[in-house]
Amino acid sequence: MSLSLLNKLVFKGLVVGSSIKFNDKKVCDACVRGKQLRTSFKLKNYVSTSRPLELLHVNLCGPMRITSRGGKMYVLVVVDDYSRFIWTLFLASKDEPLINFLCFLKKLKRE
């Protein structure tokens, strides 16, 4: 609840037993910290991994409004941190990512 609304409630006598006037112009420390803007992360000029497939970034997108011809509604995107190579896996339901990701890893290790 905002301080100006509290002042209105007290002024109209809707709050029983309170005659406190809240200062509208003062903002509490927690509110100030919550509204602070963060600075961006500094860019790295080096690769933090030493070999391919050491670190993978995985993202699941969906459900898409329009399904594919095969009935797939979700997309699993896998990015290799070392090479920045991207793989996309298309999924029919949201409970498939783990199974498909494990099969994908087995395929990568064979190659």
Domain with residue 97: its CATH number is 3.30.420.10
What is the count of structural domains for the chain? 2
- Domain of 75 in residue numbering reads as 56-110
The residue-averaged pLDDT of 90-109 equals: 91
What is the pLDDT, as a whole number, of residue 22? Answer: 65
Verify that 72 and 106 share a domain, yes or no: yes
Q: What is the pLDDT at residue 39?
A: 77
Whether 101 is in a domain gets the answer yes
Q: Cis omega (within 30 of 0) on the bond before 97?
A: no
Assess whether pLDDT exceeds 90 at residue 18: no
106 and 66 part of one domain: yes
Look-up: residue for tokens 């991994």?
A: 49
How high is the pLDDT of residue 12?
81
Amino acid 14: pLDDT: 78
Do 72 and 29 belong to one domain? no
- Is residue 44 a part of any domain in this protein? no
Calculate what percentage of the chain has a pLDDT beyond 70: 88
- 74/67 Cα distance (integer angstroms): 9
The model scores a pTM over 0.75: no
Q: Quick check: is 72 in a domain?
A: yes
